[in-house]
Amino acid sequence: MTSEREGRGAGWLDGRRGEWARYGGVGLINTFSYYVLFRVLHPFMPYLIAHTIAFALCIVISFFLNCAFTFRVAPTWWRFIRFPLSTLTTFTVMTLGVSVLVEGVGADPNVASLVSALAAVPLSYVISRLLLVGHLGL
């Protein structure tokens, strides 16, 4: 028999796993979208400009997918206006990652953009949840 508190904890964990799975799925779609956009843009412009434009377009994609599927909240103008704050940290991590990998390590910009996008996922989840739901649900 579990106590009331243990029961809530188990439910929280199950709910959080589902949310993480949905976030992961949305993240895969968003990362794929970013990567395709980056690859389309990169032949026509420097990699950092292509990265910035692709990232900006994916902010909008990410907002609507996270509202609808991950956190199951209504997309409001207030959430839409605040949501880019979650991506500011992600953008910083990704931009530093791309720059370090390309300039410091000599990595191919196409590989560096993908690696840096994947590295930013955990931090992005926490900040997105705080901005769209209003709490971490701990």
Structure confidence at residue 87 (pLDDT): 78
CA distances from 3 to 13, 63, 115, 137 (A): 15, 38, 43, 19
- Give the number of other CB atoms < 10 A from CB of residue 87: 21
Structure confidence at residue 15 (pLDDT): 63
Structure confidence at residue 63 (pLDDT): 93
pLDDT, block means (10 residues), the chain with 138 residues: 40 65 87 93 95 91 92 93 84 90 94 86 82 76
Domains of the chain, by residue range, sit at: 4-132
CA gap 45, 41 in Å, rounded: 7
Structure confidence at residue 130 (pLDDT): 87
Structure confidence at residue 49 (pLDDT): 95
Structure confidence at residue 14 (pLDDT): 53
Structure confidence at residue 91 (pLDDT): 81
